[in-house]
Chain A
Amino acid sequence: MNNILLSATAWADAIANLFRGMGDVMRGWMLAIPMSVAKGVFIAYFLLLIYWIIKLPENEVTLSLSSGKMIKLRPYALFSLITTVVIYLVF
């Protein structure tokens, strides 16, 4: 049993070593990013989506429900995203 466990650890170590060097380099890059920039990445992602929603064609965002009533989805989608941006700015 011990041999099996030892060999499992040896295999795991060998595979881990394949990735560890590359992983450590990438981790080093990530660690070098200031936290203000990291938060900016989150906010930039939301802003990109806001831009995408604004640019969507009208027939994609204004639709007729089964009841026959028209519904405009763009303002609601923008409300969701903008509120979230505000939350990320606060926390």
Chain B
Amino acid sequence: MVLGGIDYFIIIFYLIGTVLLGIYIGRKMKSGQDYFLAGRSLPWWAIGMSLVVTDIGATDMVGIAGAAYLYGIVLGNYDWLGSVPVMVVGAFLFIPMFWRSKVSTIPEWLGARYNDSVRTISAVIWGVVTAFGLGVTLYATALMFNLLLDLNPKVIVVTESQEVRKKVVVATAAGKTHDFIFLQEGDPIQSVIDSKDPNLVLVDLKWKGSVTSKNPISLFHVDEVNANWGQTMMDKARPPTWTLMYSIIIMSILIGTYTLFGGLKAVVYTDVLQCVVMLGGSLFVLFFGIYKLGGIGEFVAIIQSLGDRAENHFELVLPVDTATPHPWSGIFLGLGLVLANAYWFGNQNMVQRTLGAKSEADAKASYVFGSILKILIPFAMVIPGIIALAHNPNITDADKAMATLVKDILPTGLLGIFFAAFLAGLMSSVDSALNSGATIWTKDVYQKFVKPDATDEHLLEVGRWITAAMLGIAIFFAQFAARFESIYDLSQTILSFFQGPSLAIIVLGMLWKRATGKAALISLLSGVMFAGTLMWVNSNASVPLFKVSEPFLYVAWWSFVLSVVIIIIVSLMTPPEPESKLKGLVYRYE
């Protein structure tokens, strides 16, 4: 199934419409307060929907569905454990405290609670992590964009053997940059080659003389398929006319335009539109996908028939020695107790919206509303990944599972609507990271160190320049994201360096009056260094330290534990903060 003219029209209409909506919302933008916090005018329902759609951005739509394709419903933990309960806790404990303190950023709150050093270090780390994370989300967004619009260069492989197919993909190392089309006896081989305009055609010797192509074509024997052969073949391939980088730049211009003009308000209201379309679209894919497989019973039976490969695909809680990166111990301790909490009330991306809420009630209600919407997300993102496996167990790159499913099951016309919805969802995570990153760099670095007496109008101008600069940095980082097997794991790994220590100083800062600035600083730095050391040791030791392939959950847990221990010990060894400083920032001192 390929996109028809109507699909392209819908996608282009939607993308341009989103940009125009953002520009329209931003037309009355006059100050930094308007740009960074939407003039504190946001209602709970808009924030709630924005929170959810921001969280289910590029990494979820591409990465979670891809990971679910590989590992199953265990990925549902990232919403059912990693969002629902934490958002409820955040609604009643952390978010109201942030909102009442009238800060613009979490580092600003840390500065008020502890000291300027904690604020600055936290701001710089978040600013850098956000810029790098933006690169990852931009990459994922462009990956989806390319796949949906069928822009990837293609390699057609004509062979009967499943084993040979896998060997060819590995040997050419082109699975991330090219789409592979496998053909065998019974397929309309010549017509597919003629219609797809492939960059390279590889033909098993068995078909010698029976296949032709105006593009580079090579015969091969199974015994010669190795890395050298793969490299030689790829050198022969016609250069791509469209690369991932072009898509990255196009998405950057579209997203950058409305974020630059409209700030947080444009981000939140475009998110509302994106949430409705994307949730509707994803749930439709769920029902239509199961229907196409013959119903729930048939769907489950197909997955079970895949044997060992999918034996735990319907298990939410996996054993400690599971071969996946998601053992229950890591999920519960690393995700449930650390990463999830750090994400929902320690992440500027998320918290910034509630800081722009009209009232404390709106801020609280937005998180409760978001928690209800979050229950639906695994049905919209994770289970379609498993449906993709049932539908096609031979997808070579798991990150392409969701897009492949959508392309395969939906008819022309509907495809355009759902592709536009998916693209919109991907855009939402980029625009949010862009806006929150710009807020941190402007408020916590520029205003703090460069121009403390800057007017609100000047901050608006600076915020826009920083937004543009971050986009440039993200484009640069995006090209490195392709080197990782799962972009979701990559993004979690980046965050795990910082999330545990950051959470430790926020939680103890808000709940324990005895936590001191010096202790927080030492705790934050030690925690980040410890997390980095664990990751480095795990990669460089002759036997990895952790037994799971992507140990970000354990790294987050242990860096959190270490940071908590350090902040408690050092706080008790240093003089307490004056009580006047704690008012409004620590529970029981309001």
A-side interface residues toward B, CB under 8 Å? 8-9, 11-13, 15-16, 19-20, 23, 27, 30-31, 33, 35, 38-39, 41-42, 45-46, 49, 53, 56, 60-61, 63-66, 71, 73, 76-77, 79-81, 83-84, 87-88, 91
Contacts and interface: CB of A to CB of B under 8 A. Distances in A.
B320 interface: yes
B536 interface: yes
A9 B539 CA distance: 9
A65 B89 CA distance: 20
27 contacts: A12-B536, A12-B539, A16-B543, A27-B320, A27-B547, A35-B317, A35-B328, A38-B332, A39-B316, A42-B328, A42-B332, A65-B44, A65-B358, A65-B365, A66-B43, A66-B358, A71-B365, A73-B365, A77-B88, A77-B91, A77-B92, A79-B372, A83-B375, A87-B80, A88-B80, A88-B316, A91-B314
B88 A63 contact: no
B537 A15 contact: yes
A63 B364 CA distance: 9
B540 A66 contact: no
Interface of B: 43-44, 73, 76, 80-81, 84-85, 87-89, 91-92, 314-317, 319-321, 328-329, 332, 336, 358-362, 364-365, 368-369, 371-372, 374-375, 533, 536-543, 545-547
Q: Which DSSP category, helix, strand, loop or mixed, fits chain B's interface?
A: helix
Contacts of B360: 63
Given A64-B361, A80-B375, A45 B336 contact: yes
Contacts of B358: 65-66
Contacts, number: 130
Nearest to B316: A91
Which residue, of B315, B536, B537, has the highest number of chain A Cβ atoms within 10 A? Answer: B537
A32 B81 CA distance: 23
A12 to B, nearest CB: 4
A45 B85 contact: yes
Contacts of B538: 16
Contacts of A83: 375
A91 B315 contact: yes
Given A31-B319, A33-B320, 9 more contacts: A11-B540, A38-B328, A39-B317, A63-B364, A73-B92, A87-B76, A91-B73, A91-B314, A91-B315
Given A31-B321, A35-B319, A63-B360, A49 B88 contact: yes
Specify which of A16, A61, A83 lies most central, judged by the most chain B CB atoms within 10 Å of its CB. Answer: A16
A13 B84 contact: no
Contact of B317 (A42, A53, A76, A80): A42
Contacts of A63: 359-361, 364-365
Contacts of A27: 320, 547
B545 A66 contact: no
A42 B314 CA distance: 16
Contacts of B329: 30, 38
B537 A66 contact: no
A13 B542 contact: yes
Contacts of B546: 23
Contact of A65 (B81, B332, B361): B361
